[in-house]
Every structure is written in C-alpha cells, then in structure tokens.
C-alpha cells in the first residue's frame, strides 16, 4: 500500500554505490543541458528568466519520490511555456500579477491532476489521440519559433498566433538591430550544426559514440557561455543587444498562488488544457522509455506525481511543468539508474541558481531564443499530415483542424478543436456501423456477406450481421437500415440479428431492439438474435428483454436458420 503511494520505496532499498555513480553522471549532463533551456522557457512563458531555474528544482525532487518512471525528467517544457504565455498574455496583467497568475496556473493544473489521480481518472488523457498530439506539438513548435524571431532580430512582436505574430514582425522589421543579428546568427548556426556536427567531429577524433552524443547534447551551453562573455567583453548591451539583465540572486523564496475566485475563473479553462497536455506529454515519454526496459508506469500514480510537482513549484517561484521529451531522453541515454538522478540534478540546479544567476546579466536574449528554436525544431513533424491522409480521411481531418487552428486561432482553440474533431469523427464512424446481409456458404456452417460471396439465403428469413457494439449513437441508424431492408421484402417472416461483433449493448440499443421487435411483430415478422456474446447476454437477461422478444436467441447463426427455414 505504502509502496503504491510512494514508489520511491521500491528503489531506495536496493540503492548502492554503482547506481549512485551512474545517477550522478546522468545528473551532471542533464543539468548542463537544462540550465539554458530553463532560462529560455521562462522567457518564452513571458516570465523572468530565473523562474525557469526555480521551476527546475522542486519538481525534480517531488517526482523522484512520487513518480513511477525511473527516468522521466520533470521541469519547464516548451509547449507548456507557450500555453502559459498564451493563457496569461491576453489578460492584460501588471508584471507582478502576471507572475502570481503563472504560479496560480501551476497550482490549478497541479491540483486538477492530483484530483484526477485520486479519482483514478487518468483515462481522460486518452481522449487526445496520437495524431492530434503530434499535430498540436508541431503547430506549437512553429508558433514558438516564430515568436522567438523578434529576439533574434532585436525587434518586437507580440501575439500567440501566426495572425498576430507575422504582421507585427513585418511592421517592426525596419528597427532590426544588427548587433543582435551578429550574435544570433552564429549562435543559431552553431546550435543546428552542433546537433550532428559535434558528434561526427568527435567520432572522427576517435571518441566513442555515446560520449560524442553527450557532448553534442550539451553543446547549447557552449553558446551560452560564449555569447555571454562576448556581450560582457564588448559591452554589447550598451549598443542595443538585449540581455537578461540584473536578476535577484539566491534560492527562490516561498511564493503563494492566488486563491482569488475571479482569477480562478479566468484561468480555469487554460488550467484544464495545460494539465491535460502536460500529462499526455509526460505519460507518452514515460511509457515509451519504460517499455524499453520492461518497466511499468502507473498512469494514476503519474497524475499524482505530476500534479504534486506542479503544486510544489507554485509555492517556490515556478510555473507549469511537465515531463519533457528531450530532457528525459538525455537522462535515459546518460544512464540514469534510478530517480535519484533527478534528486542529484535538483541539487545541481540549486547550486547553479546560487552561483550563476549573477552571471545572467550579460546573457543575450538572442542566445536563449536560438536555444528555444533549436530545441523545438525537432518537434516539428509536418509529415503527420501525409501519413494521416494516407491512413484515413478521418484522422487527417482531426490533424488538419488541430494544426490549422493552433497556428491561426491559438493553442487553446487548436487543441480543443483537435479533441472535439476526433471525438465527433469517432462517434460518426461508430454511429454508422457496417451492416451486412449474410447467407450460408453452401456446404458449411459459415455465414458471409451476401454482397461479396455466393451464399444461400431464404425469402422468409433476413440474416443481418452488425459489425459494431450497439449504443445510443447507432441505434437510430440501425432501426432505419433494418426497416428499409424489411420494407423491400414483402414475404419476410423472420429477422435474425447476428451479434458476433457486438461487444457491448446499452439501454438505448436494448430499447431500440424492443421497439423494432414490437413493430415487426405487428407486421407478423419475428425478431431473433444469434451468437450473442457472454457480457451482452448477461445484460439482456437482466430486464424483460427476453420475455418481450417475439423470437428466440440462438447459439449459432446456423442453428437459427436451420430452425426457422
């Protein structure tokens, strides 16, 4: 029981020196990668850079104790930061209020996740289909990239959709600052080249594959150090280069989210979406990595862990966090053995916060913008459109709606539209199930679609196979289609519904069959069922269905036809 609520008990018992060494190594690498990313994502969220560092400490600690994944790394991630910015940006808040609102958003999203976890409602996250999530992340990454262009060029833009961003970039393009461009252009080139280039180069020098990979992963820190030094040396901030500037030093002090009802009402919808997206991203990453080691993730416990991480960070100067893809993969590749790696990384982040914050004065914002673009660019996957188109028009529609609406109408409308479209498309499909008139293959006891096979049918018997569970969304369609078939067959005496593919039946369907039964009875036609599955039969036996049915329930379609012909 205790182990269920505190998964850490499982690994603490067998912890030893070897594991500590492995975990420490992974922690060092993750921390080096995280520092620039955390700063950058805070700026992306419209918050002071140091909040990115704050948000990277406590969530790691909380998750290490409560999470079921051994390698998931929880902290600021790109998409959540964009959603935070989009949620808060439109409210017109003063800087102080903006920070409180970000804390509140983290608290609300965290509390919701914890509530869902306590109620064991993790399944709600399943309503985001893979294609919708991929489409949403692709579109978000594009928006994020465009939103960072202002920092690369030293101009100003605003907005969270292409509709807002592009015209506002265009308008201020004239104020382009060349000093900024001379910092950002080489940084961007370095970041994109180093991704494969560093590893290739090092391997050329005889360095092992995994070490080379590690160095390429931490290459962003090189650009941070280099551009900060250059900016400081040449005092570039005095000739137009925007830098992070003076920030408070020391560890975060205790902060309080707002408990004002007015603010809660304003942020409610955004908190729901942020919580859902954060959970979906985390669980996908955790499940993917766990499967590689035959480990198990418990989704309800993950809700609790992720929720607690968000609540915790809201009290220590953070903003909404999630288990990020790139940070977790780096943690995994670097050989993290247990969640202790997260604890060590948290410690290192705290140290970094104490030591490095004063150095941020000269860190160019352009460097952080380039870091963001390089990081999110790997999330862009436009090919999802082609894949979806080939696979099914329904999935394509959902992906297209998600991408287009995210780009043009914003992240919240985009993701909501994606979920809605996939739900509606699913319901539409199951609301018009495949229904086949079947007949017996001569000489066998097999029944096949009469439209596709040469089968034996009878004028007085109509055998219908329904290839779907029966529930409210398809009962009316079914009545409709069956009445149409009956109207065409004047000599009909028996209708047999073959239920091999009926996995479920709800009350609407039961009532609908009874209504059909009654109407057919008035026309002197008996209604029968065959091959009803166990759970469906159990349910039908509970009401008066079987006594009201004019015909019988047969074990097999063959028996039914034999008895009635």
Which residues in 186-245 contact its own copies (CB under 8 A)?
none
Contacting its own copies within 131-170 (CB under 8 A): 131-132
Residue 391 contacts its own copies per CB under 8 A: yes
Smallest distance, Å, CB 6 to its own copies? 20
Q: Say how many Å lie between the first and final Cα of the chain, rounded.
A: 60
Residue 171 contacts its own copies per CB under 8 A: no
Pick the closer one to its own copies by CB: 237 or 295. 295
- Cα 75 from Cα 45, distance rounded (Å): 13
Smallest distance, Å, CB 558 to its own copies? 15
Residue 128 contacts its own copies per CB under 8 A: yes
Contacting its own copies within 264-293 (CB under 8 A): 283, 287-288, 290-292
Residue 239: DSSP 8-state: G
Closest CA to 173 of 190, 149, 192: 149
Closest CA to 100 of 375, 314, 291, 284: 314
Residue 300 contacts its own copies per CB under 8 A: no
Residue 528 forms beta bridges with which residues?
A: 496
- Cα 372 from Cα 368, distance rounded (Å): 6
Residue 394 contacts its own copies per CB under 8 A: yes
Identified binder of its own copies from the candidate list 294, 443, 524, 547, rule CB under 8 A: 294
Residue 562 contacts its own copies per CB under 8 A: no
Pick the closer one to its own copies by CB: 63 or 545. 545
Identified binder of its own copies from the candidate list 182, 207, 409, 501, rule CB under 8 A: 501
Residue 550 contacts its own copies per CB under 8 A: no
DSSP per-residue codes, 51-79: HHHHTTTHHHHHHHHH-S-SS--EE--HH
Pick the closer one to its own copies by CB: 259 or 294. 294
Q: How many CB atoms lie within 10 A of CB 460?
A: 12
- Cα 220 from Cα 238, distance rounded (Å): 25
For residues 229-257, one letter each, b for 16 or more C-beta atoms within 10 angstroms of the residue's C-beta and e for the rest, the string is ebbeeeebbeeebbbbeebeeeebeebeb
Residue 402 contacts its own copies per CB under 8 A: no
Taking a C-beta distance cutoff of 8 angstroms, is the pair 455, 463 a contact?
no
The continuous run of DSSP H or E covering 462 comes out as: strand 461-466
Stretch that binds its own copies, among 24-32, 79-87, 371-379, 430-438 (CB under 8 A): 430-438
- Cα 92 from Cα 563, distance rounded (Å): 75
Identified binder of its own copies from the candidate list 22, 237, 333, 506, rule CB under 8 A: 506
Encoded one letter per residue, x for contact with its own copies by CB under 8 A and - for no contact, window 432-471 reads xxx--------------------------------xxx-x
Helix boundaries (H) for 338-435: 340-356, 365-377, 383-391, 393-409, 411-431
Contacting its own copies within 510-529 (CB under 8 A): 510-512, 515-516, 519, 522-523
Residue 285 has phi, psi (to 5 degrees) of -65, -45
Contacting its own copies within 313-372 (CB under 8 A): none
Pick the closer one to its own copies by CB: 190 or 471. 471
């Amino acid at each position: 029981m205790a182990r269920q609520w505190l998964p850490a008990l499982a690994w603490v018992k067998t912890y030893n020196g070897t594991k500590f060494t492995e975990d420490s190594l992974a922690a060092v690498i993750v921390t080096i990668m995280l520092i620039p990313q955390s700063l950058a994502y805070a700026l992306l969220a419209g918050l002071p850079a140091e909040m990115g560092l704050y948000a990277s400490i406590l969530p790691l600690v909380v998750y290490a104790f409560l999470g079921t994944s051994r390698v998931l790394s929880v902290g600021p991630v790109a998409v959540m930061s964009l959603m935070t910015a989009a949620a808060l940006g439109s409210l017109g808040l003063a800087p102080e209020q903006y920070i409180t609102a970000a804390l509140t958003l983290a608290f609300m999203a965290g509390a919701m996740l914890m509530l869902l976890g306590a109620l064991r409602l993790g399944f709600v996250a399943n309503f985001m289909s893979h294609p919708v999530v991929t489409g949403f992340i692709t579109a978000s990454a594009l928006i994020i990239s465009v939103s960072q262009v202002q920092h690369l060029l030293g101009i100003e833009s605003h907005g969270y959709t292409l509709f807002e961003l592009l015209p506002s970039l265009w308008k201020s393009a004239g104020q382009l600052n060349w000093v900024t461009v001379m910092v950002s252009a080489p940084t961007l080139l370095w970041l994109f080249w180093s991704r494969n280039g560093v590893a290739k180069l090092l391997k050329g020098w005889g360095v092992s594959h995994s070490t080379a990979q590690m160095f390429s992963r931490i290459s962003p820190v090189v650009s941070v150090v280099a551009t900060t030094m250059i900016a400081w040396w040449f005092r570039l901030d005095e000739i137009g280069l925007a830098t992070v500037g003076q920030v408070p030093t020391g560890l975060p002090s205790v902060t309080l989210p707002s408990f004002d009802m007015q603010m809660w009402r304003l942020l409610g919808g955004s908190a729901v979406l942020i919580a859902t997206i954060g959970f979906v991203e985390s669980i996908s990453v955790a499940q993917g990595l766990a499967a590689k080691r035959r480990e198990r993730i418990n989704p309800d416990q993950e809700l609790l862990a992720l929720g607690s991480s968000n609540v915790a960070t809201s009290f220590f100067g953070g903003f909404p966090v999630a288990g990020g893809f790139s940070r977790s993969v780096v943690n995994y590749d670097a050989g993290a053995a247990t969640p202790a790696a997260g604890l060590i990384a948290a410690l290192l982040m705290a140290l970094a916060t104490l030591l490095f914050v004063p150095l941020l004065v000269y860190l160019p914002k352009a460097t952080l913008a380039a870091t963001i673009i390089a990081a999110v660019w790997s999330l862009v996957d436009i090919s999802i459109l082609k894949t979806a188109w080939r696979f099914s028009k329904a999935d394509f529609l959902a992906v297209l709606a998600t991408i287009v609406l995210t780009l043009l109408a914003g992240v919240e409308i985009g993701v909501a539209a994606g979920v809605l479209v996939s739900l509606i498309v699913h319901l539409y499909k199951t609301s018009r199930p495949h229904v086949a008139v079947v007949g017996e293959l001569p000489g066998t006891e097999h029944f096949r679609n009469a439209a596709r096979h040469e089968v034996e049918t009878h004028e007085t018997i109509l055998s219908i196979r329904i290839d779907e569970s029966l529930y409210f969304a398809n009962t009316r369609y079914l009545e409709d289609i069956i009445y149409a078939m009956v109207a065409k067959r004047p000599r009909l005496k028996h209708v047999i519904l073959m239920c091999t593919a009926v996995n479920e039946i709800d009350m609407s369907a039961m009532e609908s069959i009874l209504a059909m039964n009654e109407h057919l009875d008035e026309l002197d036609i008996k209604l029968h069922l065959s091959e009803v599955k166990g759970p469906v039969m159990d349910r039908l036996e509970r009401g008066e269905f079987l006594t009201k049915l004019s015909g019988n329930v047969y074990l097999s379609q063959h028996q039914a036809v034999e008895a009635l012909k």
